[in-house]
Structure 1
Amino acid sequence: MDHNSHSTDGPNGEVSGDAKPEDKSDDQNTSQLNANKETNECPMDPMDGKDNTSDAIDANTTSDTKTVKPLDTTKSKLVGPPKLLLEEEDNLLSYDPTPNTSYPSIKWHSLQQLQQREYGKLMRPGNKRPMNSYESQAFRRYAYNSLYFFQRLELMAKFEEHNGCVNCLNFNSSGDRLISGSDDLRVAIWDWQKSTLIHKYHTGHTSNVFQCKFCADGHHIVSCARDGQVRICNVHRIGSTVVSNKLVQHKGAAHKLSLTAPQVILSCGEDSVVFEIDLRADKPTKLLNVKNANQQRVPLYSVHSNMVFNPLQFAVSGRDPFVRVYDRRFLPNSEANGTVAPVLSICPEKLKQSKHSVTCCQYSSTADKLLATYNDEDIYTFDAKTGLSETRYSGHRNNATVKGCAWFGDQYIVSGSDDGYVYGWDSQSQHIVMSLYADENGVNMCSQALKVCICWHKRQELVEIIQIHAINLCHI
């Protein structure tokens, strides 16, 4: 099914640059990476934590194991200066897709650091200060932000289960469970490490499921759909029959959900309304109608907040070029009549008079930046306090569907594209440093888990997961 249905009207050398140690340990690492490619195997990251949801689901459902398809890396692409290409890498880009931006400088040499770690000698980025032996979390963070590892993301598995387009993905808080929602009106729960389907249930929606999310407690899954409904299901004890309850009804398609507190959910829809759903309350609260300067309603495609660093503010975007930020403290206690003004109205200067739509907006992990992707345009970042436009990311194509964008940590930005690739930009240099072939029909969205795993959903009935080479080295 064509994903234009998301909207009733539709929105207008060496790749890493890391220094290559000239010792035998590095040669062994390189040989191991090549061996993994030849056998189509990618080292798995053993998850050591489970939440109650995982145990409850495993205990009360019959697992449906899916065979993982052989990896197809023939269309994977790595981006980097030609003079720095590694000999062991295949199918590299023969051109630079972002020639007007500079290639990012290397701040942390991954292979050298992995070698030095064996000797108990670790340095922070820029060799400013050594790390002690107890700073394993810091080492992981630097490794995950490493250009070397980011450029070596590759396809790990494909899951086939849905009978319609896969529109949404979400990991639970511990990162060991993945859910997917589809046009077939069902949500599938996966143990992605074991390539196993745990359970699939009917959501109760009557039209395309656009988003599904684990709640903070890990026991509930909330979903929204083209029918305008927001529904919730308890997955703590899944049986043969799963009952979902309707939380709220929009008068247009409901596209996105956001958690602002462990028990509080925001929803937005094409009726321009933002609802606040407190799971402890009897009924939802209508926060506001989003209107433009001419008091015309703005159909909404996205709502997002940062539950940790700034839970009182949330950003919305839709069928006009502005990202609007609202503060919960400045909204009226009673239901709003649509006259509430945002604390920030954000848009690049050159797009203010345009008809471009913002198909997705997202806060960074520290809530100091906002990311926005424009239909038929590029991706932009803004200062979340001042609203000033900071950087622009070009090279992808956002036209056919309502596409999302995502932060990969705070160092990289990822997005799907109509050409079937997932692109990754360095957030500072604005240079495309990674691209992966996903699907010939286009990639709609990317999602990230805590354990540095990224997956995408597409216009096919597939969910694909990719993971970096030698990630097990970073989980020592």
Structure 2
Amino acid sequence: MKKRSSADIDQAVVNVWKRELGQLSTRNFAHRFAASEDLVSRLEIHKKLEKHDGCVNTLSFNAGGDILVSGSDDLRVILWDWETGRVKLSFNSGHPNNVFQANFMPFSDDRTIITYLAHLTFPGVPNSGVTYVAKRFGKLKFWKGGEVKTILLGKHEESQVHKLAIEPGSAHIFYSCGEDGVVQHFDLRTRSATELFTCLCVDDLKGYRSYVPLNAIAIDPRNPNLFAVGGMDKFAQLYDIRKYKWDGSSDFGQPACYFCPQHLIGNEDTGITGLSFSDQSELLVSYGDEFIYLFTQSMGLRNPPFPSSSFMVSMGSDTSKVEPGSIASSSSMDLDGKNAPRVYMGHRNCETVKGVSFFGPRCEYVTSGSDCGRIFIWKKRGGELIRVMEADKDVVNCTEPHPHTMALASSGIEYDIKIWTPKAIERATLPTNIGQVCLFHSVCIEIHILKNLLVAFDLMAWLDPVIYEIR
């Protein structure tokens, strides 16, 4: 375990002294303390929330931070008092398939929750791929004896929906995106959905499709008119809702700008799994089979950036040799020029659709799950990996930061939810071989999946010698 350095102690004393002299406001003092790297190094499991009977696909805190809502493959939505681990309310979502999203609507007294499910095609199963709003009536204080009513709002036809985006400061507006490439706008006052556009590919070199199957959508908290979408394409596309004509008289399919690391332009083998905006309007983009990048608004490309030799920028090192799951300095990925996005490496994002989040009172850190069953936390500035935590036997998909404190909720393939708080007595150290561990874990998962498939097709006699050799 790493002891607290004398420099950290000296800085803490200086901050207290500045606060007492009025040179540092109480608010800034609290933020500096809450964002301390020392707290990140002391995160450990506070509670395991165990009531779901399936993988937990979505986590979200309410605005007050005292309630956590979760959705699962078991079709249930559960509201938790996460500090004590008690269930405040558990109800059937009304969905016929896995619940992929469950979010509190702002300014609803925590009585309105939006849920979305994954679409699975089954003959005779109605309402696949639909959005529900669940409203709870009764005494909120006790969460007992109330009625849960679900209302159908809309659907994405034959399409999985991985993400919703709620307009900051609005009790009525949210957006959805699906693997059908469609982005929809919802208003709870009208209980109707407006199809805004179908996200089109910028440069589909292989000619597979004209639209982008979407995995993620995020709204800029500083300017809620702007939202970004990303999916099975290397470009994150930013749109301005003010350009939409509600009478349908204009074509709203043209993005305001595009975001993509220049070395990925022309790459058809990667796509976006997660997006997140910081409170400074920075855009965080997580790529499958690649890394996480941080863009400022100035890095946006205004015109469709088709691949050409001008985009094949000379790199400081050969990035084709840097594999996901390896640890490298962020400087090795810098492009020639000042507009290179910050890069965060070390995790693996190949098996599932993973989100990505900012962490800390002023978005001082970046956090993501990994195929190796761990949570990764980086410094936003500099991209340094500072913490790796074992959180799942298989894969971590969700990392949800608390809105006010240095607490974190996580979930993955296991059926529980883990709550992390900075209560450890000793500071954790960073593993030195995390890259090799992540790679080996992912290979084991792929072998396990292959073995199950061969069992299903009665071909295990062929695989047994191979598995034996690997073991």
Tell whether the structures are fold-level matches, with TM greater than 0.5.
yes
1:11-53 superposed Cα distances (whole Å, 9 cap, x missing partner) = xx846656265xxxxxxxxxxxxxxxxxxxxxxxxxxxxxxxx
* Aligned counterpart, 1:323: 236
* Aligned counterpart, 2:220: 306
1:390-428 superposed Cα distances (whole Å, 9 cap, x missing partner) = 200110000110011100132110111111111111111
* Aligned counterpart, 1:258: 165
CA–CA distance in 2 between the matches of 1:395 and 1:139?
Answer: 32
Q: In the alignment, residue 149 of structure 2 is paired with which amino acid?
A: V
Runs (5+) with no aligned partner, structure 1: 1-12, 22-107, 124-129, 472-476
CA–CA distance in 1 between the matches of 2:111 and 2:49?
Answer: 23
1:171-197 superposed Cα distances (whole Å, 9 cap, x missing partner) = 000000001100011110000112211
1:41-99 superposed Cα distances (whole Å, 9 cap, x missing partner) = xxxxxxxxxxxxxxxxxxxxxxxxxxxxxxxxxxxxxxxxxxxxxxxxxxxxxxxxxxx
1:327-342 → structure 2 map (5 Å cutoff)? 327-335=240-248, 340-342=253-255
Name the SS of the counterpart of 1:141 in structure 2. helix
1:445-460 → structure 2 map (5 Å cutoff)? 445-449=398-402, 450-460=404-414
**Alignment counterpart, residue 153 of structure 2, candidates 230, 247, 251:** 247
Runs (5+) with no aligned partner, structure 2: 120-128, 204-208, 301-338, 426-471
CA–CA distance in 2 between the matches of 1:366 and 1:156?
Answer: 30
1:375 aligns with 2:288: yes
Q: In the alignment, residue 65 of structure 2 is paired with which amino acid?
A: G
CA–CA distance in 2 between the matches of 1:363 and 1:335?
Answer: 29
Name the SS of the counterpart of 2:89 in structure 1. strand
1:422 aligns with 2:328: no
1:383-462 → structure 2 map (5 Å cutoff)? 383-387=296-300, 388-409=339-360, 410-449=363-402, 450-462=404-416
1:270 aligns with 2:221: no
CA–CA distance in 1 between the matches of 2:191 and 2:241?
Answer: 20
**Preserved contact between residue 243 and residue 252 of structure 2 (Cα < 8 Å):** no
1:166-245 → structure 2 map (5 Å cutoff)? 166-217=56-107, 218-227=110-119, 228-237=129-138, 239=145, 241-245=147-151
Name the SS of the counterpart of 2:174 in structure 1. strand
Change over 3 Å in CA distance of 1:425–1:265 after alignment to 2: same
* Aligned counterpart, 1:31: none
After TM superposition, give the deviation of residue 453 of structure 1 in Å: 1.2
**Preserved contact between residue 47 and residue 83 of structure 2 (Cα < 8 Å):** no
After TM superposition, give the deviation of residue 210 of structure 1 in Å: 0.8
**Alignment counterpart, residue 197 of structure 2, candidates 271, 285, 288:** 288
Name the SS of the counterpart of 2:7 in structure 1. coil
CA–CA distance in 2 between the matches of 1:236 and 1:136?
Answer: 39
* Aligned counterpart, 1:464: 418
- Matched-pair identity in %: 31
**Preserved contact between residue 289 and residue 338 of structure 1 (Cα < 8 Å):** no
CA–CA distance in 2 between the matches of 1:246 and 1:445?
Answer: 26
**Preserved contact between residue 393 and residue 414 of structure 2 (Cα < 8 Å):** no
**Preserved contact between residue 244 and residue 250 of structure 2 (Cα < 8 Å):** no
Name the SS of the counterpart of 2:347 in structure 1. coil
**Preserved contact between residue 277 and residue 285 of structure 1 (Cα < 8 Å):** yes
After TM superposition, give the deviation of residue 462 of structure 1 in Å: 0.4
After TM superposition, give the deviation of residue 336 of structure 1 in Å: 8.3
1:345 aligns with 2:263: no
Does 167-176 or 272-281 show the bigger shift?
272-281
**Alignment counterpart, residue 41 of structure 2, candidates 131, 143, 151:** 151
CA–CA distance in 2 between the matches of 1:18 and 1:390?
Answer: 33
Q: In the alignment, residue 261 of structure 2 is paired with which amino acid?
A: P
CA–CA distance in 2 between the matches of 1:174 and 1:230?
Answer: 25
CA–CA distance in 1 between the matches of 2:345 and 2:5?
Answer: 22
* Aligned counterpart, 2:280: 366
Name the SS of the counterpart of 1:148 in structure 2. helix
Q: In the alignment, residue 352 of structure 2 is paired with which amino acid?
A: T
After TM superposition, give the deviation of residue 333 of structure 1 in Å: 2.0
**Preserved contact between residue 287 and residue 336 of structure 1 (Cα < 8 Å):** no
**Preserved contact between residue 42 and residue 424 of structure 2 (Cα < 8 Å):** no
1:234-284 superposed Cα distances (whole Å, 9 cap, x missing partner) = 135364652211111111111111111331011111111111111112422
Q: In the alignment, residue 58 of structure 2 is paired with which amino acid?
A: C
| Aligned pairs, number | 359
**Preserved contact between residue 275 and residue 285 of structure 1 (Cα < 8 Å):** yes
Change over 3 Å in CA distance of 1:188–1:288 after alignment to 2: same
1:318-353 superposed Cα distances (whole Å, 9 cap, x missing partner) = 011110000011123235897621001111111111
Change over 3 Å in CA distance of 1:222–1:131 after alignment to 2: farther
CA–CA distance in 2 between the matches of 1:380 and 1:156?
Answer: 30
Change over 3 Å in CA distance of 1:122–1:14 after alignment to 2: farther
**Preserved contact between residue 288 and residue 335 of structure 1 (Cα < 8 Å):** no
1:55-74 → structure 2 map (5 Å cutoff)? none
**Preserved contact between residue 360 and residue 373 of structure 1 (Cα < 8 Å):** yes
Change over 3 Å in CA distance of 1:451–1:165 after alignment to 2: same
Q: In the alignment, residue 250 of structure 1 is paired with which amino acid?
A: H
**Preserved contact between residue 220 and residue 236 of structure 1 (Cα < 8 Å):** no
Does 385-394 or 423-432 show the bigger shift?
385-394
Name the SS of the counterpart of 1:179 in structure 2. strand
* Aligned counterpart, 1:122: 18
**Preserved contact between residue 292 and residue 298 of structure 1 (Cα < 8 Å):** yes
**Preserved contact between residue 316 and residue 361 of structure 1 (Cα < 8 Å):** yes
Does 312-321 or 331-340 show the bigger shift?
331-340
**Preserved contact between residue 275 and residue 283 of structure 2 (Cα < 8 Å):** yes
Name the SS of the counterpart of 1:262 in structure 2. coil
Does 348-357 or 179-188 show the bigger shift?
348-357
| Higher RCO (C-alpha 8 Å, min separation 6) | 1
Q: In the alignment, residue 275 of structure 2 is paired with which amino acid?
A: C
CA–CA distance in 2 between the matches of 1:204 and 1:362?
Answer: 28
Q: In the alignment, residue 226 of structure 1 is paired with which amino acid?
A: A
